């Protein structure tokens, strides 16, 4: 199998994994008026995919998998467009930073921990800042939600997004350390 076919296969695999993790392993928290936020570890899979298949393809996998998950869930269907952008950016930032710091070339456990923790913090940190901001703007101006309601929903989302980021940082680092040797020569 050539490299492009393997890369495409892994991109699809990570998109499906993102979809499955978000769809079947989340805790929904109702926000009122039919809305909801979720505690989940799907962003850990987004970051992991960026480290394994690169920032661009990992971003595509995260964006597609989680946007489809949103689109197929009535609670999150209106979030799908912003999810596409945000998940792509998480992977792109984490993957790009990890590559620049030398993650693909090191086997040193301390280096791996440092690089993965810092790059995950950067990608997930982007999400912590921009998820509530984009959600507010999206709800306020595109979905025409009232300003007060949009602000309240964005505040809930900020807290849950921060909690998800902390959990996903640890989960992604642990997963990468457990799996990187297997994937390193597969792509």
Per DSSP bridges, beta strands 35-39 and 27-32 are: antiparallel
Backbone angles phi, psi at 29, to 5 degrees: -120, 110
Closest C-alpha to 76, from 84, 137, 50, 13: 84
- Listed in sequence order, the DSSP H helices in 25-146 are 42-53, 55-71, 80-100, 109-137
pLDDT for residue 52: 96
135 Cβ contact list (under 8 Å, min separation 6): 79, 82, 150, 153, 154, 157
pLDDT digits (tens, 9 = 90+) for 107-146: 999 999 999 999 999 999 999 999 888 877 777 676 666 5
Range of the domain at 110: 3-184
Closest C-alpha to 112, from 47, 183, 174, 42: 174
Q: Is 103 exposed, middle or buried (0-12, 13-18, 19+ CB in 10 A)?
A: buried
Average pLDDT, the chain: 89
pTM for this model (two decimals): 0.90
DSSP 79: G
- Give percent helix, percent strand, percent coil of the chain, each to the nearest 5: 80, 5, 15
Instruction: Count each helix (H run) and each strand (E run) in the chain, helices first.
Output: 6, 2
Which of residues 154 and 170 earns the better pLDDT score?
Answer: 170
Distance CA 19, CA 27 (A): 15
Least confident of 3-12, 16-25, 50-59, 155-164: 155-164
* pLDDT exceeds 60 at position 16: yes
Q: What is the CATH number of the domain that holds 12?
A: 1.10.1760.20
* pLDDT exceeds 80 at position 178: yes
């Amino acid at each position: 199998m050539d490299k492009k076919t393997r890369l495409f296969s892994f991109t699809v695999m990570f998109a499906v994994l993102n979809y499955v993790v978000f769809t079947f392993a989340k805790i929904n928290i109702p926000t009122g008026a039919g809305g909801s936020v979720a505690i989940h570890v799907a962003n850990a899979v987004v970051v992991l995919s960026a480290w394994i298949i690169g920032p661009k393809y990992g971003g595509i996998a995260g964006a597609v998998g989680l946007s489809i998950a949103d689109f197929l869930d009535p609670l999150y269907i209106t979030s799908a467009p912003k999810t596409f952008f945000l998940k792509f950016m998480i992977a792109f930032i984490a993957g790009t930073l990890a590559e620049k710091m030398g993650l693909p070339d090191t086997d040193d456990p301390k280096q791996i921990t440092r690089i993965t923790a810092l790059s995950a913090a950067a990608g997930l940190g982007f999400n912590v800042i921009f998820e509530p901001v984009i959600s507010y703007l999206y709800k306020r101006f595109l979905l025409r939600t009232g300003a007060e309601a949009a602000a309240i929903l964005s505040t809930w989302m900020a807290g849950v997004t921060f909690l998800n980021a902390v959990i996903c940082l640890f989960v992604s680092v642990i997963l990468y350390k457990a799996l990187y040797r297997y994937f390193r020569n597969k792509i």
